[in-house]
Chain A
Amino acid sequence: MKKPELLAPAGDLEKLKFAVHYGADAVYIGGKQFGLRAKAGNFDYEDMKEGIAFANRYGSKVYVAANIIAHNEDLTGAEAFFEQLADIGIHAVIIADPSLIRVCQRVAPDLEIHLSTQASVTNWRSVLFWKHQGVERVVLAREVTMGEIEKIKEKVDVEIETFIHGAMCISYSGRCVLSNHMTDRDANRGGCAQSCRWKYDLFEDGTDETVNVSETSELAYTMSSKDLSMVEHIPQLIENGVDSLKIEGRMKSVHYLATVVNVYRKIIDTYMEDPVNFHIDQEWIDEIWKAAQRSLTTAFYFKDPSEEDQLFGKPEQIPKYNFCGLVLDYDGQTQLATIQQRNPFKIGDDVEFFGPDFYRFQQKITWMIDENENSIDIAKQPMMKVKVKVDKPVTYFNMMRKQR
């Protein structure tokens, strides 16, 4: 059985470092061009170099998502872009548009190409087609079932990557231009306005009369998917030979990223160490929920999604935890942790510290000083540095969260 890669998103350099620290085997980032997350921080070449150097120190790889569906004007600069990526040591690029595949193959023949999920590859014959075009890996459409994955791995010898966690298009990815039509923003070039998640009225269009179905219900019509989570089904993906397990979310917070990567790292390692005695630990599921932003679903993996896999009505009260602080330093002698504030916390709060390798403990805040060593009751200012007394050791990159 092959140990799959755990692939995490990294919206910026800080997130890249967190993802790697918490156990990602590879991260994917966006460049300043050709990526679908126009609003994520994204990386210039200098940041990329730093990110690669950091990742390589931990044996992790860096991929660049160049997954737009290009128009003629976007092709300018593509050659220089891929040449540059190859030069600075990017391991692979994630591409959806054949024009960019061609450019990349021409100017950077050693750069691995992963076909993006935006290409909606749903069957083994399509996988085979793309293999023949020279792509090293295919990221499957989110509509592919567990059984279909098994068949694909049986039939075609090419690396397969599937999504295991995160937000989802409710359409076939790439086959939706709602934003283009409703807001003049091109969804397939990073302008997606998430129009699917808006509220609509649904009408039955009769020749004599038109009925507003939504009016008779409390619930507006909408097309919002719950978020994917395969936290309970990783062994099956590994047994089916999936090569890379992908977490969605270049726009997500460091807290989200660290939490989710930590859990999947733990699951993969635990399973690979001893598949026979493996069982799902409730703690892992609880942990995932601490960072969840929406209710969770296994989407298409095991059955056709129903209304139960969609969100209707008022937004849910999720997440249940706030990321309160990042540990910058720790003094074992005094048991003081230096913490950078990310959300307010105060004396008397019950908080949880956590770190890589599923390190976790509960802590009550009993004593706290600010940078001038004045005793304080509350850490109010964003990014302020405070020292907090802790019962157990912590280290840089550990995090502190609090239940809402």
Chain B
Amino acid sequence: MTEIVSYARNVDEATQLVEVANVDAIICGEERFGLRSIGNICFEEILKINHFLKRRSKKLYVLVNAIFHDERLEEVTNYVEKLSDLSVDGIICGDPSIFTILQEKNIQIPIHWNPETLATNHETLKFWQDIGVTRAVLSNELSLDEIIDINQSLAIPIEVQVHGMTCIFQSKRKLVRNYYQKIDDDWNPEKIRYVKQTKSDQTHYPIFEDRNGTHIMSTEDICMLRYLPQLLDNRINCLRIYNIFKTINYNVQVSRVYKEAIKSYSDDPNQFHQLIGGWEQQILSIQPSKRKLGTGFYFKEQIY
């Protein structure tokens, strides 16, 4: 069965994503353990969301995908034990330290393996499958053909991002704050910032800092709505929507459109093709003007 999984920043958003958009699963997390959650969710909120989702037979995946340094290893061990006690449906991880923690503590919990840029071929993902992960979250810099090949080689499901911006850079350094220091200007951590290649007018790369370092995001928002049939026909079933720096309304409406489109395609492919224009219009009507929509690397060739 196809799954639409969306990020939530709080209980309210999780509720709306389920009740209005009817998504199948929610991702959320806390900055100390997870990367680029759209809101820094404390454990009490996770409890509430988990409780709510269980009643609705929806799934909860929690972000534990930070690159850990020694100081956080104990905290993360406790955190994972607590999540296991909650029986969340999965934790999203990208640092291999997690496997030694699970083994030592004898914790059984589904692992969604998300090493960001490092999940790029079928043999690598078979390696992680053999280690015991239950889902492979693929890198965003892959073509549709590569994704299809990987999917066919694996026994575990793969997850790909179908909507929103993607992370294209992570540094441990405080690269925004450092710049303000350098130019002797006041740095307000609350502000949303972006960088542009000096001579190019069209780009818009959001950049932000948190306790995991500095993150730069893609200039376009992926929108694979029109190409859902190609994903679904190839049984690529876990589809992620990631709307950081967007309103709750945007996130809920986009998620709703994807869910409707998937249902429509499985009910009647002809109907999907009649309705796709309208759905795209709905997304365009709420799309921020600075953010172009695109198809990421799905149909792009890379050189090296």
Contacts and interface: CB of A to CB of B under 8 A. Distances in A.
Given A122-B67, A172-B171, A180-B302, A130 B96 contact: yes
Interface stretch (A64-72, A85-93, A341-349): A64-72
B169 A191 contact: no
Interface in B174-198: 174-176, 178-183, 185, 191-198
Interface residues of A, number: 76
B197 A198 contact: yes
B170 interface: yes
Nearest to A103: B123
Interface stretch (B114-122, B223-231, B255-263, B277-285): B114-122
Nearest to A96: B118
Contacts of B179: 202, 213, 221, 307, 312
A74 B120 CA distance: 10
Interface in B66-125: 67-70, 73, 95-101, 116-118, 120-124
Nearest to A143: B172
Interface in A193-231: 196, 198-206, 213, 216-217, 219-221, 223
Contacts of B128: 98
A199 B169 contact: no
Contact of B67 (A70, A74, A120, A312): A120
A120 B96 CA distance: 10
A46 interface: no
Contact of A184 (B73, B172, B180, B301): B301
Contact of A310 (B96, B169, B170, B178): B178
B192 A178 contact: no
Contacts of B304: 38, 185-186, 189-191
B194 A176 contact: no
Contacts of B116: 175
Interface in B194-234: 194-198, 206-207, 213, 216, 218-219
Contacts of A119: 118
Contact of A129 (B100, B117, B194): B100
A69 B120 CA distance: 7
Contacts of B117: 69, 174-177, 188
A253 interface: no
B123 A202 contact: no
A221 B146 contact: no
Contacts of A333: none
A300 interface: yes
A124 interface: yes
Contacts of B197: 182, 198, 200
A16 to B, nearest CB: 24
Contacts of A392: none
Listed residue (A130, A172, A178, A310) with the most chain B CB atoms within 10 angstroms of its CB: A172
A129 B185 contact: no
A206 B194 CA distance: 11
Contact of B170 (A96, A176, A216, A219): A176
Contacts of A177: 117, 140-141, 168-169
B302 A191 contact: yes
A98 B304 CA distance: 20
B299 interface: no
A123 B302 contact: no
Contacts of A151: 70
Listed residue (B101, B172, B290, B300) with the most chain A CB atoms within 10 angstroms of its CB: B172
Given A125-B97, A130-B96, A191 B303 contact: yes
B193 A304 contact: no
Contact of B169 (A176, A184, A217, A219): A176
A128 B120 contact: no
Contact of A180 (B123, B141, B178): B141
A199 B200 CA distance: 11
A223 B122 CA distance: 33
B196 A170 contact: no
A329 interface: no
A219 B183 contact: yes
A178 B171 contact: no
B183 A174 contact: no
Interface string A134-173: 0000000101110110010000000000000000001110
Given A123-B68, A175-B117, A72 B168 contact: no
8 contacts: A72-B122, A75-B123, A176-B117, A177-B169, A186-B302, A201-B196, A206-B191, A213-B180
For the complex of A and B, list the 8 residue pairs with the smallest distance between their C-beta atoms, beginning with the closest: A125-B97, A99-B123, A191-B304, A307-B178, A189-B304, A98-B127, A217-B183, A129-B96
Interface of A: 38, 69-72, 74-75, 96-99, 101-103, 119-126, 128-130, 132, 141, 143-145, 147-148, 151, 170-172, 174-178, 180-182, 184-186, 188-191, 196, 198-206, 213, 216-217, 219-221, 223, 300, 304-307, 309-310, 312
